[in-house]
Structure 1
Amino acid sequence: MAASTKFAPWEDPGARPMIRFENVTKRFGSFVAIDNLSLDIYEREFFALLGPSGCGKTTMMRMLAGFENPSEGNIELDGADIVDVPPNKRAVNMMFQSYALFPHLSVHDNIAFGLKREGMAKDKISARVAEMLRLTRLEKFASRKPHQISGGQRQRVALARSLAKAPKLLLLDEPLGALDKKLREETQFELMDIQEKTGTTFVIVTHDQEEAMTVASRVAVMDAGVLKQVATPSQIYENPNSRYVADFIGDVTILEGRARKEGNRYELAWADGQPPIVAQSALEIGPGDTCYYAIRPEKVEIHHDKPEDDNVLQGKVIDIGYLGNISTYHVQLANGQTIRAQNFNTERSTQQAFTWDDTVWVNWTDRCGILLAN
């Protein structure tokens, strides 16, 4: 079997984006929702717009759908400017958080609704609906009404209806927000599978970091109408470009200090009476410049005895979070700073390896954290 090729059109200088935001600004009165934003999204991407409430991600989606127009700038779909194209004339469909299913129609007729409105022939409608039912594994529920199926199944009906018209682009506005955690996690993988099978470009709006990191080929982290970083989930997590991104994605400890270069490493002076943090970094930091050091808890080891290594700090366990597969220890250092460390619970035991008020040592290697300029 031939090895699968890497999907990364954003790394190809010759690749033409399917969606292009070019210097787009959107104002509502004096409020700037989107601020001079430029972004390229490629065909067959599962692209996530991620950020807190009010960051502008839904406004971007509404502009793609045609429900809002930019105050300035251009939006292109397949090389054509779509700013003046009405929503019903765009090769775009939108799936809302509420699903907006017709309660009096069966699953089959909900999926067929848009095709009937377009005047498609009956035999073609039947074939297309049957294809969508198979794709979303809803064949057995075709004759049921929305209130007779589960929340996850209603979500799949809405998805099937959105895909029935074979849009070039499908917009998903918090599509899993109404589902419980376990069903949401299962449905994330179903969405990925359906997106891959259809080849449709998906753009999802979410404030759920885990959801974005799970489903997306790339993630755009937004704040106050500005793109803070656009990259793959692993790049966003392991190489955030700022404190904002590091803090927004996952769990992290951030230390502030001043770094000086020692060979191929930096030493960060960050607290009186504490040894310097040692870090490898390609970042250019001037002598005496303030910088920041971000370290994820799964990179930090915790010990009863002092290890012989870089970045060894002593503290006291002040809090413990037990999640079954992992335990997170909040370790307070002598200067009051708290660092989080994680242990995988690889053996079946109800006893924690460390407990409250234990004096412990934490450490990590010089490659585990990242230096940030801002």
Structure 2
Amino acid sequence: MTSTDAAAVPADFAPWENADEKPLIEFQNVTKRFGDFTAIDNLNLQIYEREFFALLGPSGCGKTTLMRMLAGFETPTEGTILLGGQDMAPIPPNKRATNMMFQSYALFPHLSVADNIAFGLKRDGIPKADIDARVDEMIRLVQLGQFAKRKPHQISGGQRQRVALARSLAKAPKLLLLDEPLGALDKKLRQETQFELMDIQEKTGTTFVIVTHDQEEAMTVASRVAVMDHGKLIQVDTPAGIYENPNSTYVADFIGDVNILEGHAAKSDAGCQITWAEGQPAINSNCGTDLSGKVHFAIRPEKITVSADKPTDKPNVLQGKVHDIAYLGNISTYHVRLSNGQIIKAQSANNRRLSRRSFTWEDDVYLSFTDTAGVVLAE
């Protein structure tokens, strides 16, 4: 599929919610061992056509091994990997309808931008006129028209990244694998390039699978995110689902900033009450399940309101003293120490220019939140 015949992915794109939709990629009970070490542990996963799918996790969690198996550089110890319904095991890497873009970009320094993009097409023996047309299309796609004759050392890091992307897409793979593709870029350029990647993925209609340890990057670019740990999938969901409804304290703590309080839950008329610290009021929450006994209550700092006066319209109010403040420009994070010594983080947007902060160190404040602001987790 080329950039001229693929429509942008619609806003309501969610094939994983359609039981009739067939996945492009399917991992069926896949295990990968290296000697006594299990890198991937009995993993099942489905990825759909035109998804921008992110594999996210700390170093050593198995995400790169998963990608290398997709590319054909590693073979499963057990289980099956299907691409378009076909078992990939007997198909060598160079015969698969996949391509891989490495963090180092691996461009040929002696070739021009255009020749780097054309390299794989020439290897396949494609007619010169078709190669020239495809290279021109890819150069337009990544907006490098004025740099076509330059060598890699004559362009910036961000432009080299786009050349590598164009070369990877030139053969119109069904699946493009991106291994930490933005790791060499500075923060601002990295953020800009994330949106360029999304735009290119939508224009080409190619399925992208990206490996990253950067939570913000995964949340920005992906249609769905798979959070991994020790070779297992901990949660697979949309970025909003992962952030707002984590299924465990591991996911809640790994994605973004969070307060996690340990306590005991009991059913109440409004949902459940969580007793969690001596001298502190119970937390009222909408559990949504029949959770009881030992639980963890996870709440994001931005869901907590900081005020000088005690609110009367919130079901949960805690009192404390400002212990520390982090000013981050667009937001301020307040670390508030409660009477039992517990530190709770709360955030507020700096949506006005202020000559002084609303609160400062050692101020007495109230923290308040609704009964739906947090998530009650069994583990």
TM-score interval for Structure 1 and Structure 2 normalised by the shorter chain: over 0.9
Aligned position for 1:365: 370
State how 1:1-374 maps to structure 2 within 5 Å: 6-286=12-292, 289-308=293-312, 309-374=314-379
> Residue 200 of structure 2: SS of its match in structure 1?
helix
Letter in 2 for 1:268: I
Distance 1:94 1:4 in 2: 25
Letter in 2 for 1:280: N
> Residue 285 of structure 2: SS of its match in structure 1?
strand
Aligned length, in residue pairs:
370
Structure 1 residue 280, shift from structure 2 partner: 0.7
1:59-92 CA distance string (max 9 Å, x none): 0000000000010000000000001211001000
Distance 1:182 1:5 in 2: 26
When residues 5 and 238 of structure 1 are mapped into structure 2, their CA distance, relative to the original with a 3 A threshold, is closer
1:70-125 CA distance string (max 9 Å, x none): 10000000000001211001000000000000111100000001111111111001
Structure 1 residue 326, shift from structure 2 partner: 0.5
Structure 1 residue 263, shift from structure 2 partner: 1.4
Structure 1 residue 264, shift from structure 2 partner: 3.4
Structure 1 residue 349, shift from structure 2 partner: 2.0
1:42-61 CA distance string (max 9 Å, x none): 00000000000000000000
> Residue 118 of structure 2: SS of its match in structure 1?
helix
Distance 2:353 2:254 in 1: 32
Distance 1:332 1:109 in 2: 61
> Residue 222 of structure 1: SS of its match in structure 2?
strand
Letter in 2 for 1:291: V
Letter in 2 for 1:197: K
Letter in 2 for 1:306: K
Aligned position for 2:4: none
Distance 1:236 1:177 in 2: 23
Distance 1:323 1:292 in 2: 28
Structure 1 residue 6, shift from structure 2 partner: 1.5
Letter in 2 for 1:73: G
Moved over 2 A (4+): none
Structure 2, unaligned runs of 5 or more:
1-8
Question: Matched residues, percent identical?
Answer: 70
> Residue 98 of structure 1: SS of its match in structure 2?
coil
Structure 1 residue 5, shift from structure 2 partner: 6.1
Letter in 2 for 1:302: V
Distance 2:229 2:322 in 1: 34
Structure 1 residue 26, shift from structure 2 partner: 0.4
Letter in 2 for 1:132: M
Distance 1:35 1:4 in 2: 34
> Residue 47 of structure 1: SS of its match in structure 2?
strand
Structure 1 residue 316, shift from structure 2 partner: 1.3
Most deviating of 174-183 and 313-322: 313-322
When residues 352 and 5 of structure 1 are mapped into structure 2, their CA distance, relative to the original with a 3 A threshold, is closer
Structure 1, unaligned runs of 5 or more:
none
Query: Could you say what the CA RMSD is over the residues aligned between the two structures, in angstroms?
Result: 1.0
Letter in 1 for 2:360: T
Letter in 1 for 2:371: D
Distance 1:297 1:149 in 2: 42
